[in-house]
Amino acid sequence: MTKERKRGRPRSFDETAILDKIMQVFWEQGYSATSLDQIAEATNLNRPSLYSAFGSKKDMYLKVINRFADMMQAHLAAAGDFDGSLKDRFEAILSAAIDLYTGQTGVSASRFGCLAISTLPAEAAQDTEFLNALNKVMGRMDRGFVRLILGSGDAPVHEDEANETARLFSVLLHGMSVRARAGEDPDELKSLIKSAVDRLLPDPAR
């Protein structure tokens, strides 16, 4: 009995690389302002190929949001992966976020801020899937900061206090994203970050 031949030809492109190109379009234009023609032009793929690989425009956008969240988490985790005080690690992580928001990393060379914070809020009020995606991204950031605070060993911290501090740092980064997209100087943003770390993580009493 002969084996059934697979239908269609294997894809001749790197799906991850194409998804990153789609990400850049959504990151710059936002969801509503992005057309499939723009995506096709940026990826050099026709619509049938895009639909086959990634689904609808909405599917593409949600995939891009998930990929960005994974990339950002890895980028920030690497920045804080060293032996140092909690303040030093937070400052390094937040500084790395500013680099990402202002186009100073390999992820993007443009000052688009945070992809999720820059583009999702405008869509979340009309679509529960987008709202869930936004909450998921913010929740990941909150939980990452909580783990960092509770695992630091700098000083005993109650979990409720860690949750509140983590959320304050997340809110701080959301504001930094808006300022980065508006073109504020990265050094000025990093100066604000340092000041915020000093205020939110005071030195433990000796």
Give pLDDT, residue 153. 76
pLDDT digits (tens, 9 = 90+) for 167-195: 999 999 999 999 999 999 999 999 999 99
3-state SS string for the chain: CCCCCCCCCCCCCCHHHHHHHHHHHHHHHCCCCCCHHHHHHHHCCCHHHHHHHHCCHHHHHHHHHHHHHHHHHHHHHHHCCCCCCHHHHHHHHHHHHHHHHCCCCCCCCCCCCCHHHHHCHHHHCCCHHHHHHHHHHHHHHHHHHHHHHHCCCCCCCCHHHHHHHHHHHHHHHHHHHHHHHCCCCHHHHHHHHHHHHHHHCCCCCC
Residue 10's pLDDT band, with cuts at 50, 70 and 90, is: low
Residue 7: pLDDT over 70: no
Residue 11's pLDDT band, with cuts at 50, 70 and 90, is: low
Domains in the chain: ranges and CATH:
65-200 (1.10.357.10)
pLDDT digits (tens, 9 = 90+) for 15-62: 999 999 999 999 999 999 999 999 999 999 999 999 999 999 999 999
Residue 6: pLDDT over 50: no
pLDDT digits (tens, 9 = 90+) for 124-155: 999 999 999 999 999 999 999 999 999 887 76
Residue 109's pLDDT band, with cuts at 50, 70 and 90, is: confident
